[in-house]
Amino acid sequence: MTYTVGDRRISLEHDPSEETIQLVLSHPKLFKYCLNGACYRYLIDLKKIVHLYGDILTIYSTLLSKIPKYDDVTSMTISTQTRLLRLEDSMNSLLGEMVDGNPKNGGWDDRSYERETKQVCYLTVRSACDVFSLVVKCLNCIEVFFLSYDNLKKLLIPYSLIQAEEIHTSLLNIQNLFAVVTIVDNIRVIGSWEPALLQQLRKVERITTGIERESIVLGAAFRTFDLSLQQYTLFLLGRAMLKREIDSSQCQIIRRREICFQAAEHVVNIPLNHEPMGYLFVAELNTYVIIFISILVFLMLFATFRLIMLLKSE
């Protein structure tokens, strides 16, 4: 990892030069600023994922409410959605309601990492991990159920289960980073250069890099499935159910929940059979082909990027 101080760029990968040592001792808060900044960006990326799966569970719970005599699946989905929306509310309270966060990091840079930032991150990630464990189980049940009926297959959101499993694994991995104790808040107090200090700073660097890596994973997942849900909202909820064109702005994150509610009002119930229902059948098969290919390409790029990051980390 490379740190920037004015027009200087420093790295701790190799034994630091005298100039690098002086720069580090002259700017002791640099490592804390970078670590806190990485944590803030990670939480923003996690928040966007929570919004995204809030959309997915809202769509599924609304559709399931139209299917009679399957209250067990519907009840589980609504319960999972409620847990997810509570997490969404908590993260809105913590980070604000702006989807992309505060451009100035909300004053996080100068916080105490050990006493504030790390504690908040650990608790948030642990809560998200618990919720996504439920999300994975819920989506698994929905997928098995929907795949049993021809008319429900078309309502599945492609790869949402696979990606939820990846996100859950990522959340489990990053908890370990937030469990590591650092000296990042006390570098100024040390005020001298020792071999032990270099080891501690390299540990901070590894934590920062690890958080940034998991943030990139979440960002890639969001971009992939946000695009998928935009297409799902536009074609299936809009053209197939509402029988009208909807503006692309209404297909964006969170706002598409309203389109889902409107579409549900046009469907009295969804009977289960092995024949495509007229009001659920999407005549434009090309639409699904496009969505499938788009997601497949994104997943391939995502897997390639993940492999590259893992090789670099080694």
Local confidence pLDDT in tens for the 314 residues of the chain: 666 665 566 667 667 667 777 777 777 788 899 899 999 999 999 999 999 999 999 999 999 998 888 889 999 999 999 999 999 999 999 998 888 776 667 688 889 999 999 999 999 999 999 999 999 999 999 999 999 888 898 899 988 999 999 999 999 999 999 999 998 998 765 556 677 888 888 898 899 999 999 999 999 999 988 998 999 999 989 988 888 999 989 999 999 999 999 988 888 788 877 644 443 444 444 455 556 666 666 666 666 666 666 666 65
Residue 62's nearest CA partner among 81, 46, 40 is 81
pLDDT of 278? 45
pTM: 0.83
pLDDT of 100? 77
Determine contact, residues 302/224, Cβ cutoff 8 Å: yes
Identify residue 299 by its one-letter amino acid code. L
pLDDT of 122? 96
Q: How many CB atoms neighbour CB 40 within 10 A?
A: 24
pLDDT of 3? 67
pLDDT of 224? 86
Reading the block at residue 82, the tokens are 């409620």
pLDDT of 312? 61
pLDDT of 112? 94
pLDDT of 281? 42
Between the alpha carbon of residue 92 and those of residues 44, 48, 87, 311, the distances in Å are 10, 10, 9, 35
